[in-house]
């Protein structure tokens, strides 16, 4: 079998994974790039360059496992507090990544989108985001979603504004507002909620990431920094997910 072909049931079994216990949607908080580089005496940006290789790995493996969606937290709305030179390099690296990986998105039949506020992002990044989305039109495979200039509180505020505007325009009445109506106005409208959130570098927090959407997600925290998070670590997280008893607030009979 080709190295990038979907895993067969037998291969899944050998990896300790089963299709009926796999998550539909895995979201990643890719933490520890800068710390990894500094620990090796390298500039922080080198950690982000190396982290891009980990991003490719989890996308490839998610596609081979035929997961419905993978979401990567690439740039938070709080990251603008970082030093200007580091932020500029991060944005340039993101633009380069979009150009370099576009053919892979097409080849692997990945669907593609971005969540987050476009305002404030450089024209070059927006141009490459749009070009990748255009290239992926018609694809039917795993959904690759990049969270860029994203903050969940801001997303929730934006959704509330949309609802208020719709009420004012009589497109909906207040009594019709429920969780479904609210979710339909989030950036993630139409996407499945994450079943599993993986965070690296040992940090025990969700950092304003998909707060509405991860209400019942399983959490996995790896002590490894993102650049050293490998295929075996990903599969270990998936196996752990498969062994968990997900009750969603109820109990099993």
Topology of domain 22-150+193-222 in CATH is: Undecaprenyl pyrophosphate synthetase (3.40.1180)
151 — alpha (psi -120 to 50), left (phi > 0) or beta?
beta
Q: Does position 247 have pLDDT exceeding 80, yes or no?
A: no
Q: pLDDT value at position 253?
A: 55
| Contact in structure between 166 and 172 (CB atoms under 8 Å) | yes
Cα radius of gyration (the chain): 19
pLDDT in tens, 125-161: 999 999 999 999 999 999 999 999 999 999 999 999 9
Residue ranges of domains in the chain? 22-150+193-222
Fill in the DSSP letter of residue 24: S
Indicate which residues carry an active-site annotation.
31, 79
pTM for the predicted model, two decimal places: 0.94
Query: 107 versus 18: which is more confidently predicted?
Result: 107
| Contact in structure between 225 and 38 (CB atoms under 8 Å) | no
Q: Does position 3 have pLDDT exceeding 80, yes or no?
A: no
Cβ–Cβ contacts within 10 Å for residue 157, how many?
11
């Amino acid at each position: 079998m080709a190295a990038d072909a979907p895993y067969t049931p037998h291969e899944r079994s050998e990896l300790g994974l089963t299709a009926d216990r796999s998550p539909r949607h895995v979201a990643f908080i890719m933490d520890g790039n800068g710390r990894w580089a500094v620990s090796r005496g390298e500039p922080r940006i080198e950690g982000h360059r190396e982290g891009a290789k980990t991003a490719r790995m989890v996308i490839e493996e998610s596609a081979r496992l035929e997961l419905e969606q993978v979401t990567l937290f690439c740039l938070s709305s709080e990251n603008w507090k970082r030093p200007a030179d580091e932020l500029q390099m991060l944005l340039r690296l993101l633009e380069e990544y979009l150009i370099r990986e576009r053919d892979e998105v097409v080849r692997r039949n990945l669907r593609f989108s971005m969540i987050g506020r476009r305002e404030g992002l450089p024209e070059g990044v927006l141009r490459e985001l749009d070009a990748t989305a255009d290239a992926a039109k018609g694809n039917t495979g795993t959904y690759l979603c990049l969270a860029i200039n994203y903050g969940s509180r801001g997303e929730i505020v934006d959704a509330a504004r949309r609802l208020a505007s719709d009420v004012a325009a009589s497109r909906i009445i207040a009594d019709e507002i429920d969780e479904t109506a609210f979710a339909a106005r989030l950036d993630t409208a139409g996407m499945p909620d994450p079943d599993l959130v993986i965070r690296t570098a040992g940090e025990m927090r969700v950092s304003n990431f998909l707060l509405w959407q991860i209400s019942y997600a399983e959490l996995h925290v790896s002590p490894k920094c993102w650049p050293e998070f490998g295929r075996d670590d990903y599969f270990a997280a998936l196996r752990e997910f498969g062994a968990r008893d997900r009750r969603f607030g109820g109990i099993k009979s």
